[in-house]
């Protein structure tokens, strides 16, 4: 362009070309810088996934610890150390990243922690980051990158020490800082120069976030390896047998016998032998409470659980099987179960005596042999049926107007409600009570005792099994003097004042008749009772 004199138009075109070329170069640079944003987002997403995976592995670790506290505890403690070391390392790298943003962007550190990748204004600046991370010395030992390298080496060494030597070779932790690095001309360079020399801020932030991702990955690897190591087993068996485990040995007509067939392997010669620790009346038995349990030793490699049935009702038990591995560690397997103990019993009943009385509480005993009372659910076709909490029985009430009631009994067996059977009862009203005064009926009574008693009472017949209360509503007292018969009415059960005056005037041998006695039973219906004859003595 300078070999001949250019016209003003040519000079303008040349200047525009230079400007366009510079703008194109600037756009390419921006595209490259902005490309790091996508990479950084991907790295952050990976970090979140690794954290979630770590949480899942740790949850499985805690489940194993709950099942086998003694064996798993040392490995869980190491896993907690790995988590702590990783948290410290991640925190250090994140703080280093935020300090780099603060120095480059010239903003306070607190603001740098809140600044997103997209909000960085000096993403393409590499001078300030290089001075901060590399420093003034050519080997980079004066910058923050060298300190980061030392932290990473220490972290790797501490994490590797948590794993048993025989498992370390297969462990992939990353953080390889002792490899050889070369520049574009083939000359060797340090780890710090390789990663951070003349690198723009956008790339530095992405690289540091990548290191945080490697920390999360290393943490996941170590925790997962510790979990696998804690449950590693090396058992040998010399006998295998088929075992049948029935779902229930108590069946009803029409039921289906169900059982699980398993293959059981055991060692008849290995020492020390496996053992069972079991305790009654509990839902679970932690290994830490071994001293409270009963130990059941093996019998030629077999473990037989025998529990005496000393109490009636639903019984629970729990325990664990302790098996030593060939490596010398103890492996435990927890179990629990329940069974029902019934008292020896028999039932004798008269066929024609199945009677329910109207309007009163009829006590019933409902049971199914072999089934706990908690699993029994009866229902009545007429009236109501409820449980008697005082004695565990049942109380049936039936209304007037029905001649029979059917009680159907169902029970929950193996998780399913089953109809057991039905029983039909005749429905009758209560028999009439007998009237009494001063505890006597149709007997000789002195005037004073009769006055002291002061009321008519109604009692169930002596041969009736149950005692129900009847309320005296009204009655009439009749007595003869000369050729005349006098009647005196009373409301309620008590003698009236007029009746008492007339009784005082009676003579020895005189008969007093209490008649038209109206009583109200527990079913709420009035009844007329037979007369009561009292002779004055």
Final residue before a domain boundary, out of 395, 428, 461 = 428
> Within this chain, do residues 375 and 323 fall inside the same structural domain, yes or no?
no
Per-residue pLDDT, 119 = 83
Q: pLDDT class for 478, splitting at 50, 70, 90?
A: very high
Per-residue pLDDT, 221 = 86
Final residue before a domain boundary, out of 428, 444, 467 = 428
Q: Which of 459, 495, 461 is nearest to 477 (CA)?
A: 495
> Within this chain, do residues 220 and 243 fall inside the same structural domain, yes or no?
no
> Within this chain, do residues 138 and 269 fall inside the same structural domain, yes or no?
no
- DSSP-based three-state secondary structure for 463: coil
Average pLDDT value for residue range 289-311: 70
Average pLDDT value for residue range 480-494: 90
Bridge-based pairing of strands 313-324 and 526-529 is: unpaired
Please determine, for residue 20, whether its predicted confidence score (pLDDT) is greater than 50: no
- Let me know if residue 1 belongs to a domain: no
Q: pLDDT class for 10, splitting at 50, 70, 90?
A: very low
Task: Determine contact, residues 330/71, Cβ cutoff 8 Å.
Answer: yes
How many domains are there within the chain? Answer: 4
Please determine, for residue 13, whether its predicted confidence score (pLDDT) is greater than 70: no
Please determine, for residue 406, whether its predicted confidence score (pLDDT) is greater than 80: yes
> Within this chain, do residues 525 and 501 fall inside the same structural domain, yes or no?
yes
Residue that is written with structure tokens 């620790």 in the block: 277
**Per-residue pLDDT tens for 144-167?**
888 888 888 899 889 888 888 877
Task: Determine contact, residues 278/334, Cβ cutoff 8 Å.
Answer: no
Q: pLDDT class for 27, splitting at 50, 70, 90?
A: very low
Average pLDDT value for residue range 269-292: 73
Per-residue pLDDT, 517 = 93
What is the dihedral sign for C-alpha 208, 209, 214, 218? positive
> Within this chain, do residues 155 and 219 fall inside the same structural domain, yes or no?
yes
Per-residue pLDDT, 469 = 83
Per-residue pLDDT, 375 = 83
Per-residue pLDDT, 472 = 94
Please determine, for residue 92, whether its predicted confidence score (pLDDT) is greater than 80: yes
> Within this chain, do residues 42 and 169 fall inside the same structural domain, yes or no?
yes
Per-residue pLDDT, 130 = 87
Please determine, for residue 308, whether its predicted confidence score (pLDDT) is greater than 90: no
> Cα(196)–Cα(183) distance, rounded to whole angstroms?
12
- Let me know if residue 399 belongs to a domain: yes
> Cα(124)–Cα(112) distance, rounded to whole angstroms?
17
- Let me know if residue 19 belongs to a domain: no
Q: pLDDT class for 245, splitting at 50, 70, 90?
A: low
> Within this chain, do residues 41 and 133 fall inside the same structural domain, yes or no?
yes
Sheet holding 384-387, edge to edge: 362-364, 394-397, 384-387
- Let me know if residue 2 belongs to a domain: no
Bridge-based pairing of strands 416-428 and 355-357 is: parallel
**Per-residue pLDDT tens for 318-339?**
887 777 665 556 667 777 877 6
Please determine, for residue 30, whether its predicted confidence score (pLDDT) is greater than 70: no
> Cα(258)–Cα(41) distance, rounded to whole angstroms?
56
Average pLDDT value for residue range 259-282: 65
> Cα(371)–Cα(413) distance, rounded to whole angstroms?
8
> Within this chain, do residues 103 and 187 fall inside the same structural domain, yes or no?
yes
Q: pLDDT class for 392, splitting at 50, 70, 90?
A: confident
What Cα–Cα distance (Å) separates residue 357 from each residue in 77, 319, 374, 458? 70, 51, 27, 18
Per-residue pLDDT, 138 = 66
Average pLDDT, the chain: 77
Per-residue pLDDT, 350 = 44
For the packed helices 8-67 and 69-105, what is the interaxial angle rounded to 10 degrees? 160
- Let me know if residue 6 belongs to a domain: no
For the chain, what is the total number of helices (H) and then of strands (E)? 10, 23
Per-residue pLDDT, 496 = 94
Task: Determine contact, residues 464/431, Cβ cutoff 8 Å.
Answer: yes
Q: pLDDT class for 133, splitting at 50, 70, 90?
A: confident
**What DSSP assignment string belongs to 74-142?**
HHHHHHHHHHHHHHHHHHHHHHHHHHHHHHHHT--HHHHHH--GGG-S-TT--HHHHHHHT-SSTTSTT
Per-residue pLDDT, 456 = 92
What Cα–Cα distance (Å) separates residue 213 from each residue in 33, 39, 50, 144, 219? 21, 13, 8, 19, 10
> Cα(271)–Cα(80) distance, rounded to whole angstroms?
34
Which CATH number belongs to the domain containing residue 388 in this structure?
2.60.40.10
- Let me know if residue 18 belongs to a domain: no
**Per-residue pLDDT tens for 501-519?**
999 988 888 999 999 999 9
**Per-residue pLDDT tens for 355-368?**
888 888 888 888 88
Average pLDDT value for residue range 305-315: 69
**Per-residue pLDDT tens for 176-217?**
666 566 666 667 777 777 778 888 888 888 888 888 888 888
- Residues sharing a CB contact under 8 Å with residue 87, sequence separation 6 or more, in sequence order: none
Burial 12-37 (b: 16+ CB within 10 A, else e): eeeeeeeeeeeeeeeeeeeeebeebb
- Let me know if residue 211 belongs to a domain: yes
> Cα(536)–Cα(515) distance, rounded to whole angstroms?
17
Residue that is written with structure tokens 């366009």 in the block: 20
Domain enclosing residue 385, as ranges: 351-428
> Within this chain, do residues 247 and 299 fall inside the same structural domain, yes or no?
yes
Per-residue pLDDT, 339 = 67
User: 172-186, 274-288, 400-414: which has the minimum mean pLDDT?
Assistant: 172-186
Q: pLDDT class for 241, splitting at 50, 70, 90?
A: low
> Within this chain, do residues 218 and 95 fall inside the same structural domain, yes or no?
yes
> Within this chain, do residues 390 and 504 fall inside the same structural domain, yes or no?
no
Please determine, for residue 235, whether its predicted confidence score (pLDDT) is greater than 60: no
243 vs 172, residue with greater confidence: 172
Final residue before a domain boundary, out of 407, 428, 449 = 428
- Let me know if residue 15 belongs to a domain: no
Preceding amide of 272 cis, omega within 30: yes
> Within this chain, do residues 104 and 178 fall inside the same structural domain, yes or no?
yes
């Amino acid at each position: 362009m300078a070999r001949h004199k250019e016209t003003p138009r040519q000079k303008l075109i040349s200047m525009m070309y230079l400007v366009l070329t510079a703008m194109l170069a600037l756009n390419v640079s921006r595209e490259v810088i902005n490309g790091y944003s996508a990479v950084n987002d991907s790295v952050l997403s990976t970090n979140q996934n690794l954290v979630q995976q770590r949480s899942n592995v740790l949850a499985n670790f805690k489940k194993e610890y709950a099942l086998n506290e003694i064996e798993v505890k040392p490995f869980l403690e190491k896993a907690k150390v790995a988590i702590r070391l990783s948290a410290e390392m991640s925190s250090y790298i994140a703080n280093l990243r935020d300090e780099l943003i603060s120095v480059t962007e010239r903003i306070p550190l607190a603001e740098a922690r809140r600044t997103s990748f997209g909000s960085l204004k000096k993403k393409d600046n590499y001078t300030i980051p290089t001075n901060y991370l590399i420093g003034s010395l050519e080997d980079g030992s004066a910058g923050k990158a060298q300190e980061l390298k030392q932290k990473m080496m220490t972290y790797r060494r501490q994490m590797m020490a948590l794993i048993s030597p025989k498992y370390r070779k297969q462990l992939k932790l990353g953080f390889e800082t002792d490899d050889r690095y070369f520049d574009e001309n083939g000359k060797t360079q340090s780890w710090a120069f390789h990663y951070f020399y003349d690198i723009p801020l956008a790339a530095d932030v992405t690289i540091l976030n990548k290191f945080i991702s490697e920390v999360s990955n290393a943490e996941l690897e170590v925790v997962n390896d510790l979990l696998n190591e804690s449950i590693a087993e090396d058992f040998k068996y010399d006998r295998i047998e088929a075992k049948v485990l029935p779902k229930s040995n108590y069946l009803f007509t029409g039921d289906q016998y169900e059982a699980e067939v398993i293959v059981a392997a055991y060692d008849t010669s290995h020492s020390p032998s496996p053992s069972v620790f079991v305790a009654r009346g509990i839902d679970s038995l932690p290994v830490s409470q071994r001293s409270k349990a009963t130990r059941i030793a093996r019998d030629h490699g077999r473990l037989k659980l025998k529990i005496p049935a000393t109490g009636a009702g639903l019984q629970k038990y729990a325990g664990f099987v302790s098996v030593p591995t060939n490596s010398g560690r103890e492996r435990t397997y927890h179990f629990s179960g329940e069974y029902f103990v019934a008292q020896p019993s028999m039932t004798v009943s008269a066929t024609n005596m199945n009677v329910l009385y109207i309007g009163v509480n009829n006590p019933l005993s409902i049971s199914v042999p072999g089934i706990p009372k908690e699993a029994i659910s009866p229902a009545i076709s007429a009236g109501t049926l409820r449980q008697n909490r005082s004695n565990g029985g049942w109380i049936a009430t039936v209304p007037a107007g029905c001649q029979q009631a059917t009680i159907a009994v169902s029970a929950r067996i193996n998780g399913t409600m089953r109809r057991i059977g039905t029983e039909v009862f005749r429905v009758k009203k209560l028999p009439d009570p007998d009237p009494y005064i001063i505890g006597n009926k149709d007997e000789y009574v002195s005037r004073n005792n009769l006055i002291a008693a002061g009321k008519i009472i109604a009692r169930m017949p002596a041969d009736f099994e149950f005692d129900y209360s009847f309320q005296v509503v009204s009655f009439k007292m009749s007595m003869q003097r000369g050729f005349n018969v006098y009647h005196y009415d009373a409301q309620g059960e008590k003698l009236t004042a007029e009746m008492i005056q007339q009784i005082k005037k009676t003579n020895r041998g005189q008969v007093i008749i209490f008649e038209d006695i109206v009583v109200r039973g527990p079913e709420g219906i009035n009844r007329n009772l037979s007369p009561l004859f009292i002779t004055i003595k």
